[in-house]
Structure 1
Amino acid sequence: MLLHLSFFFFFFVFVPVLSLNQEGLYLQQVKNGFDDPDGSLSNWNPHDTTPCNWAGVKCDSSLSVTTLDLKSQNLYGPFPLLLCRLRNLTFLSLSLNSINGSLPLEISTCQNLHHLDLSQNLLVGTLPPSLPSIPNLIYLDLSGNNFTAQIPPSFGSFQKLQVLSLLNNLFNETVPAFLGNVTTLTTLNLSYNPFSPSSIPPEYGNLTNLRFLWLTMCNLVGPIPPSLGNLHRLIDLDVSINDLVGPIPATITSLSSLVQLELYSNSLSGKIPAGMSRMTSLRLFDAAVNSLEGEIPDDLCQLPLVSLHLYENRLTGRLPESIAASPGLYELRVFGNQLNGTLPRDLGRNSPLLLVDVSDNEFSGEIPDGLCAKGVLEELLIIDNKFSGKIPASLAQCRSLLRVRLKGNGLSGEVPASFWGLPHVYLLELAGNSFSGEISPLISSATNLSLLLISDNQFAGGIPAEIGSLQKLVEFSGSGNRLSGSIPRTIGKLELLGRLDLHNNELSGEIPAEIRSCKKLSELNLAENELSGQIPPGISYLPVLNYLDLSENRLTGEIPIELQNLKLNRFNLSSNRLSGKLPPLYANERYRESFLGNPGLCGDLQELCSDSQRSETKSHRLLWLLRSIFILAGLVLVVGVGWFYWRYQNFKKVKKGTDKSKWTLTSFHKLGFSEYEILDCLDEDNVIGSGASGKVYKAALSSGELVAVKKLWGGSKKGDEEEDERRRRISDDLFRAEVDTLGKIRHKNIVKLWCCCATRDCKLLVYEYMPNGSLGDLLHSSKGSLLDWPTRFKIAVEAAEGLSYLHHDCVPPIVHRDVKSNNILLDGEFGARVADFGVAKMVEAIGKGPESMSVIAGSCGYIAPEYAYTLRVNEKSDIYSFGVVILELVTGKPPVDPEFGEKDLVKWVCATLDQKGVDHVLDSKLDACLKEEMCKVLNIGLLCTSPLPINRPPMRRVVKMLLEMMENKPKPAKKEGRLSPYYYEDGSDHGSVV
């Protein structure tokens, strides 16, 4: 027994107790200072002897910590200064977390750091000027934070720094020239900062070791300094999306190592410099959206280019034949110039062309037959040129094609039969040519086809029944051809069909009753054909139909009374053989022209009845007249009272300063009312809304129709002349923008502007009335439960289609600039209309002078981050705002709310997803069974609200994603060829479909 006690005493006295070393204790304190909701640091065990086996930790042979890599671990908290006590720490990465607060000055005590990455966090304040005192610092990445003010001048004194990335912060002083002193730099990235207007410092020409120079969207002005030609090791030069002017300096051509040259979206002018052949490594040359002139140099096209982007310049001459010899060329975008001649005959034979867009030029000749020789061509756009001849037979075998747009040329001959049936094409546009022949039954193989646009050609023969196989078809426009035979009954299988336009053909037979199955049909135009039989009553069951034109046919029988159920913006049944009485809703003067040329029709409208019918009507009127004699005295009394009331009302309006004789009315559609009816409804009892621009009235017209009247604010009540003038100027700007925009465009998802009325001091805008008000008011009120998920999804799609029309199908494109849920109005069926274009601008007008920004655009919570500090707007600004609307639909929450603290909806969603998961983001009022679909829409909203504009998809792509999100379709492989980690090709479209 004594022996055993002696043993235990010896063990506890002489065997040392194992415990965590000092560096491990420091890391334990760091762990305690973080909020770690995902348990990323759960294996940091305080009972270990060293931290060398902990997550993210590496040690040297002496068990001292050298590396701490906690990238993307969802950690929250301030920067842990204790890390600087790790005497051998050389590598520190805390990127993609939520490190907040300011970066302490004492960070310079991390004296042994070589690599410091704090990117994509929530750091604020100014940069510590002490950072350059870390003697061996080689890599410094502070991008994606909220650092403000200026970059400290001390940053020009780094001794060994090679990589400096300050991308996407809030620096607002000038671009610092002193960084040109850090000659050890190999990478300098200052992109996406709201610098005050400044030029590219010529001192950057001293950075002879530089390999990457990124200055995208830095508010740069002035010319490109010739000194950049000294950067002979440069691989990527990106100065895009600025206001640079002047020519491309000739010294640029000496950059023989340059792989990517990105100059797009500036105001550069002059010719592309000679000597480009010296840039033997160049693969991407992007100088799009500038004012470059002259011809494309032949020596540029002799380079082994991968992408050539010269669109929307003023280039002339021919496209050099040498471009066809570039072995790696996969993108050729030269649209929107004045180029002419023929395309190189061998284009595509030597290179894997994916995209060719030469639209809006003056090219002529035939389409080269080798464009798809490598079998990978996806997009061919040659809109509005002078091409002639036939579609090459080789293109009919190009099964990789996704988008084909040949509109507005002189192409002719028959379309190859297999061309109709290309399996992956979703847009086939042949309109405005001289094609002949028939639509091949092989079109049934085009299972991905969404848009079939073949108007204004010479197509003949019948529409094949196989067209009913196109389950994804959204639009079929075939007007202005010689199509004959009957409309196939299989048309009823097209459940997604939204527009069917076959007017001005030779179609015969009856309108198929099966068309009632096309529940998404909003436009049906079968005018100017030889259709016969009766109008199918089933048309009245198309819930979103707002355009119906069956005029100039041979239709007979009565007009189905059920057509009264439709809410039509356009209605025309004239020049047929219809008979009987008009449905009561249409028996008023407003619709008279909709029924002219139908001798058998009768109703209360003049010139519609036959002689016998008119005689019978006269006898009834005589009987009514005899009866009216007995109440003549009463009528006199009523007239007297009415006259007195009219005089009294007229006196009141004159007293108010409203003289009807001075009003000017401008109509944009055929009206069934006058300005006097509108003015009589401007009563405070009829006010249904009030905003920054004026009041909105609900006006009930004598026809029974309802319209909405916006009265823009006039002068101030205080009699302040300066304030009156300011208000009048703003009112004029809003009025002009609204009229210029809505007066010219027509789309089912854009609110209709009936007319405008104006005097010097008052302006009225008359719109179609939306019974369900605005999406914002409905969604964020007690009535939000009315909006179930299918309805919300429908609203998202329709609003997206309206914005897509503005961005892609209007020439020039239109930027709304104030997209928000309160500017999306809902009709009686919850159909969406984009409204309020008071601050809208056409893209070509934006930024052309101070007047273009006379009205500050955007609303709190919807403003894209780049607009807040650059005051620049383009389509990407609208896309961000629409992304916020999507988040509202998914979450049910407003764009700003006290619940979010200092965050807005976008930041709240991102933070909540990271901390709590998607279940805490989705609106609890929605059916949880649809969670998967809601999550997909949520992802689209997050993509649209990306902080970097270039990452946001164009609206046409947003529409396509919304429509296709339910399909488990494999995505095409990501294209290679870009070196910049911050570049994402947005695939934006251009040109007009309509």
Structure 2
Amino acid sequence: MIFLFLSFLFISFPFLSHSLNQEGLYLLYVKNSLSDPDNALSSWNPRDPTPCHWFGITCDPTTYTVTALDLSNSNLAGPFPSILCRLPSLSFISFFNDSINSSLPADISSCQSLTHLDLSQNLFTGVLPASLADLPELKYLDLTANNFSGDIPESFGRFQKLEVISLVYNLLDGTIPAFLGNISTLKMLNLSYNPFIPGRIPPEVGNLTNLEILWLTECNLVGEIPDSLGRLNKLTDLDLALNNLVGRIPSSVSELASVVQIELYNNSLTGELPRGFSNLANLRLLDASMNQLTGNIPDELTRLPLESLNLYENRFEGTVPASIADSPNLYELRLFGNRLNGELPGNLGKNSPLRWLDVSNNQFTGQIPASLCEKGELEELLMIYNEFSGEIPESLSKCQSLSRVRLGSNRLSGEVPAGFWGLPRVNLLELVDNSFSGPIAKTIANAGNLSLLIISRNEFNGSIPEEIGFLQNLSQFYGANNRFSGSLPETIVNLSDLGILDLHGNHLTGELPSGIESWKKLNELNLGNNSFSGKIPEGIGRLSVLNYLDLSSNQFSGKIPTEFQNLKLNQLNLSNNRFSGELPPFFNKGIYKNSFLGNPGLCGGFTGSCNGRYEDRDGGYIWLLRFIFVLAAVILVVGVVWFYFKYRSFKKARALDKSKWTLMSFHKLGFSEHEILDCLDEDNVIGSGSSGKVYKVVLSNGEAVAVKKLWGGVKKGNAKEDLEKGQVQTKDDGFQAEVETLGKIRHKNIVKLWCCCTTRDCKLLVYEYMPNGSLGDLLHSSKGGLLDWPTRYKIIMDAAEGLSYLHHDCVPPIVHRDVKSNNILLDGDFGARVADFGVAKVFDAAEKGPKSMSVIAGSCGYIAPEYAYTLRVNEKSDIYSFGVVLLELVTGRLPVDPEFGEKDLVKWVCTTLDQKGVDHVLDPKLDSCFKEEICKVLNIGLLCTSPLPINRPSMRRAVKMLQEVGTASQPKAAKKDGKLAPYCYEDASGQGSVA
């Protein structure tokens, strides 16, 4: 074949015999054998005398022989070109991040000069060729993120000069072999994230005395850590995290004289931390979190120049040694979730640039050390759920670097220093469940970054200052159960981002300020148990996303505004006020039966007839007769209506296979199953899928709901297609997952499941109706122009907060497994709800690492690569899918498109950014004035779709990054050669304590 190709070249281009040398001809064959949709090899010109100036080619400057081939990030596809081994001086080959999609041929062993082979992030399949070990000069072998399977060949123990081997993120399913301990030259061994069968760490690894990096993260390791690892004197990085290791941490670990970081988190290690850490003079990071360790923290550990000490979620007991404060390099101290007691060292932070302190969920007592921000670098101060007492130190009111403060659930008291209220960078200030007193200082006007103010259940007093209205970023204000008095400041209506205002249980008076309708994002308003008076502002009825309203136990008067009928409330409580007049008909429902108690002036509905009330006390007898007559008439009418609907539902039930319907509700309902069943005809169908149809049902009260009707089995005719998409889901499985998930959770950005109705062979799910349909349908239709950038950004934030709730606030956490634009529904104001939980999975807190599935769930273009390869899923899979949605909104393109060829949207964006720049990626329908903000969201989308799950942020971190978009603190985009470079975010893993 090669001979025929070369003959063809000489016949077609006779000048080649006098120009291009033999090595160039071999490389032209390589070009011809590969698919090159981006013309990366366009510079490979057959008229050149040598290939030395071609893209990706490096030659020896003296002999002009090819020594290196680097075609990284070129989007090349096809089989691995073995002809490269005919280049006698070729020592370097890299096809990093391409789409080479064959097995690795055994004849690669003929590349006898090869020292560096990088084939990472491709689509290789099959077993690892045993002949790789026959490359006598090979020093670097990187096969990360491919589809290699089977065992590691026994021949790998014969490598002569190999220094680096990385097999991360493949499908290797044997055990980690002992013969790897024979590669005495090895400096880096990385086998992380492979589905090995359960096995021990081979003690022979201790023979690799030149080893500097040992990464065996998530390799299904069991048993104990072998003592032999203590012989690795040159080891700088030891990572055995996310396995099932048991037993004690061996004392030999203290003999790793060169080690810089040790990561043992997410195992089942027991016993105490070993003594001898004072020998580890270079140790900067020790993470033994999420194990079952016991005992005290060794005093010698606290004297090391640690940069990060993570020991949370263990069973440590005792006190924190005072010597921990003597460490000059300590900038992160996280000890939360233990049983530590006593006082914190009084000079903690005095001698070190302390940046993060988290001692939450312990039994600490005493005062907060005044020296915590001595160096002026403290950013996070997390001390919730302890028994700290005394006042907040005055010194902390000068700590301008603070961004998160959580001091809740302690025994702190006294007035909060005035400067503490106005710290300019604080985003979260939580003082809940203490005994603080005094007013909110006017200096709070300086807290321009404050988003969450949580000060409930204290003894704060005085009036709420007008300066509270200057906090344009404030989204949640919890100030319940204090002693605040006076009226709400007029400026409070300026808080356009306010989502929750909870001030119940205070002594607030006066009328509510006008202009409340400016709270467009308000989801919860609770002003109960105060002394407010006057009429309720009609503007409350125009708050389209309001979900919870409690104005009970006040002195409000006048009529109930008819605008309240526009609200979509889960909870309404207007009881124990002085309302009068007729109750709007909309509220004459069972779900509002207790919402108006204690308002003697109200009439109509559940409160009694307005015409039946007389001032004349002698008319009681007449009133009683009329009441009896009216009651009898009502009973008669109700009886007739009941009989009519009963008969109608009986006929409907007979039509539906004569099965009995069972109703299970998850909210208070204003309708019955019969009202739903009557409307299930073809004229009301608004969508259909493999599992059934979706109907729009308009109820008798004028409200609309969406009804998903599920039939048994998989839709016929599409089984193969559904299997390829990973969407094969039985009716019972999907129904059960949907009910178990949505029936328990409550969030404004999760679609509301009103109820479900079931018979033997048919099941109905009744949801809130979303008039704007799905994001995918709207974005990719002719109506996509309705989605300007502000609207898309609002949708992004809503969806992100919904997913963050599932991952971080649900106990146990929930993984959606089918995040896509078609499963993000839009209400009338383009507020987004995450929907379709038919394949969602609940993860037990005790489970460690990804959970294995029996079949892929999800949709083409959204499925995370590691999920597709390994069938192992965790929240990182959802984050990848959410990243694809971000790219959809930024580019306006489908996740898969024939225009992309064999690529999906993620690869298309990366390639286009690299070769053409950002302007060729962004949706042309978006206004260019938002370009900077759009680019920031684009970078977040790329971060969420990182090929390696460990590099993707948590959803909580993604929400925080999205919230920071457009703010002055956001770093500017770096540019190189006119192309946008991705941002670099610290702590992209999102690790840390629960916010």
Fold shared by both chains (TM-score > 0.5): yes
| Conserved 8 A contact 2:714-2:731 | no
What do residues 895-914 of structure 1 show as CA deviations (whole Å, max 9, x unaligned)?
Answer: 45565555444334434544
Q: 1:504 to 1:24 in 2, by over 3 A?
A: same
Quote the Cα distance in structure 2 between the aligned partners of 1:219 and 1:983.
Answer: 29
2:280 is equivalent to residue 279 of structure 1: yes
Paired residue for 1:941?
941
Quote the Cα distance in structure 2 between the aligned partners of 1:812 and 1:432.
Answer: 25
Paired residue for 1:552?
553
| Conserved 8 A contact 1:383-1:408 | yes
Quote the Cα distance in structure 2 between the aligned partners of 1:303 and 1:394.
Answer: 27
Paired residue for 1:770?
770
Classify the secondary structure of the residue corresponding to 1:986: coil
Quote the Cα distance in structure 2 between the aligned partners of 1:754 and 1:617.
Answer: 43
The one-letter code of the counterpart of 1:327 is P
CA apart distance, 1:159 = 0.6
| Conserved 8 A contact 2:575-2:595 | yes
Bigger shift: 54-63 or 350-359? 54-63
The one-letter code of the counterpart of 2:881 is S
User: Which segments of 5 or more consecutive residues in structure 2 lack a partner in the other structure?
Assistant: 1-16, 717-728, 975-983
Match runs of 1:263-342 below 5 Å: 263-342=264-343
Quote the Cα distance in structure 2 between the aligned partners of 1:68 and 1:716.
Answer: 53
Quote the Cα distance in structure 2 between the aligned partners of 1:714 and 1:121.
Answer: 40
Quote the Cα distance in structure 2 between the aligned partners of 1:346 and 1:567.
Answer: 53
The percentage of counterpart residues that share the same residue type is 65
| Conserved 8 A contact 2:957-2:988 | no
CA apart distance, 1:210 = 0.6
Paired residue for 1:706?
704
What do residues 198-217 of structure 1 show as CA deviations (whole Å, max 9, x unaligned)?
Answer: 33222212111111111122
Classify the secondary structure of the residue corresponding to 2:907: helix
CA apart distance, 1:678 = 5.4
CA apart distance, 1:443 = 0.8
Paired residue for 2:6?
none
Paired residue for 2:990?
987
Match runs of 1:242-641 below 5 Å: 242-607=243-608, 612=613
The one-letter code of the counterpart of 1:267 is S
Classify the secondary structure of the residue corresponding to 1:340: strand
Quote the Cα distance in structure 2 between the aligned partners of 1:760 and 1:46.
Answer: 72
Classify the secondary structure of the residue corresponding to 1:531: strand
| Conserved 8 A contact 1:600-1:610 | no
Classify the secondary structure of the residue corresponding to 1:130: helix
Quote the Cα distance in structure 2 between the aligned partners of 1:272 and 1:866.
Answer: 34
Classify the secondary structure of the residue corresponding to 2:62: coil
CA apart distance, 1:959 = 1.7
Bigger shift: 230-239 or 175-184? 175-184
The one-letter code of the counterpart of 2:467 is E
Quote the Cα distance in structure 2 between the aligned partners of 1:39 and 1:898.
Answer: 18
| Conserved 8 A contact 2:851-2:873 | no
Quote the Cα distance in structure 1 between the aligned partners of 2:180 and 2:595.
Answer: 72
The one-letter code of the counterpart of 2:703 is E
Classify the secondary structure of the residue corresponding to 2:453: strand
Bigger shift: 838-847 or 245-254? 838-847
Q: 1:346 to 1:733 in 2, by over 3 A?
A: farther
CA apart distance, 1:585 = 2.5
Q: 1:945 to 1:715 in 2, by over 3 A?
A: closer
The one-letter code of the counterpart of 2:535 is Q
Q: 1:258 to 1:640 in 2, by over 3 A?
A: closer
Paired residue for 2:797?
797
Quote the Cα distance in structure 2 between the aligned partners of 1:566 and 1:711.
Answer: 27
CA apart distance, 1:460 = 0.7
Classify the secondary structure of the residue corresponding to 1:229: helix
CA apart distance, 1:252 = 1.9
Paired residue for 2:866?
866
Q: 1:589 to 1:37 in 2, by over 3 A?
A: closer
Bigger shift: 517-526 or 291-300? 291-300
Match runs of 1:722-737 below 5 Å: none
What do residues 495-522 of structure 1 show as CA deviations (whole Å, max 9, x unaligned)?
Answer: 2222111111111122111322222222
Paired residue for 2:978?
none
Quote the Cα distance in structure 2 between the aligned partners of 1:810 and 1:340.
Answer: 29
What do residues 220-269 of structure 1 show as CA deviations (whole Å, max 9, x unaligned)?
Answer: 33332222222122111111122323332232222222111101122323
Paired residue for 1:12?
none
| Conserved 8 A contact 1:847-1:872 | no
Paired residue for 1:238?
239
Classify the secondary structure of the residue corresponding to 1:605: helix
Please give the TM-score of this superposition, normalised by the length of structure 1.
0.85
Paired residue for 2:875?
875
The one-letter code of the counterpart of 1:579 is S
Q: 1:461 to 1:160 in 2, by over 3 A?
A: same
CA apart distance, 1:425 = 0.9
Match runs of 1:49-198 below 5 Å: 62-65=62-65, 67-68=67-68, 70=70, 72=72, 74=74, 76=76, 79=80, 81=82, 83-96=84-97, 101-198=102-199
CA apart distance, 1:415 = 0.8
What do residues 633-662 of structure 1 show as CA deviations (whole Å, max 9, x unaligned)?
Answer: xx99999898588447426636867675x9
Quote the Cα distance in structure 1 between the aligned partners of 2:28 and 2:851.
Answer: 59
Quote the Cα distance in structure 1 between the aligned partners of 2:621 and 2:899.
Answer: 70
The one-letter code of the counterpart of 1:770 is M
Quote the Cα distance in structure 2 between the aligned partners of 1:137 and 1:716.
Answer: 52
Quote the Cα distance in structure 2 between the aligned partners of 1:849 and 1:655.
Answer: 49
Bigger shift: 239-248 or 152-161? 239-248
Please give the TM-score of this superposition, normalised by the length of structure 2.
0.85
| Conserved 8 A contact 1:71-1:96 | no
Q: 1:286 to 1:558 in 2, by over 3 A?
A: same
Quote the Cα distance in structure 1 between the aligned partners of 2:563 and 2:376.
Answer: 52
Quote the Cα distance in structure 1 between the aligned partners of 2:857 and 2:783.
Answer: 29
| Conserved 8 A contact 2:879-2:954 | yes
Quote the Cα distance in structure 1 between the aligned partners of 2:877 and 2:898.
Answer: 25
The one-letter code of the counterpart of 1:952 is R
Classify the secondary structure of the residue corresponding to 2:271: strand
Q: 1:717 to 1:863 in 2, by over 3 A?
A: closer
What do residues 847-889 of structure 1 show as CA deviations (whole Å, max 9, x unaligned)?
Answer: 3899996997545443333334555443323222222222333
| Conserved 8 A contact 2:75-2:98 | yes
CA apart distance, 1:441 = 0.7
2:824 is equivalent to residue 824 of structure 1: yes
Alpha-carbon RMSD across the aligned residues, in angstroms, is 4.3
Bigger shift: 580-589 or 286-295? 580-589
Bigger shift: 289-298 or 736-745? 736-745
CA apart distance, 1:436 = 1.0
Tell me how many residue pairs correspond in the alignment. 954
| Conserved 8 A contact 1:733-1:838 | yes
Paired residue for 1:809?
809
Q: 1:970 to 1:830 in 2, by over 3 A?
A: closer
Bigger shift: 31-40 or 330-339? 31-40
What do residues 456-493 of structure 1 show as CA deviations (whole Å, max 9, x unaligned)?
Answer: 11111111111122121111111111111111111122
Paired residue for 2:669?
671
Quote the Cα distance in structure 2 between the aligned partners of 1:614 and 1:603.
Answer: 17
| Conserved 8 A contact 1:102-1:123 | yes
Q: 1:427 to 1:867 in 2, by over 3 A?
A: same
CA apart distance, 1:381 = 1.0
CA apart distance, 1:190 = 1.6
What do residues 547-599 of structure 1 show as CA deviations (whole Å, max 9, x unaligned)?
Answer: 22222211222233223233222222222222233334334454342222222
CA apart distance, 1:968 = 4.2
Classify the secondary structure of the residue corresponding to 1:111: coil
Classify the secondary structure of the residue corresponding to 1:484: strand
Paired residue for 1:203?
204
Q: 1:891 to 1:177 in 2, by over 3 A?
A: farther
| Conserved 8 A contact 1:74-1:914 | no
Q: 1:75 to 1:867 in 2, by over 3 A?
A: closer
What do residues 926-956 of structure 1 show as CA deviations (whole Å, max 9, x unaligned)?
Answer: 5566454433322222211212222111222
Q: 1:606 to 1:464 in 2, by over 3 A?
A: closer
Quote the Cα distance in structure 2 between the aligned partners of 1:309 and 1:594.
Answer: 49
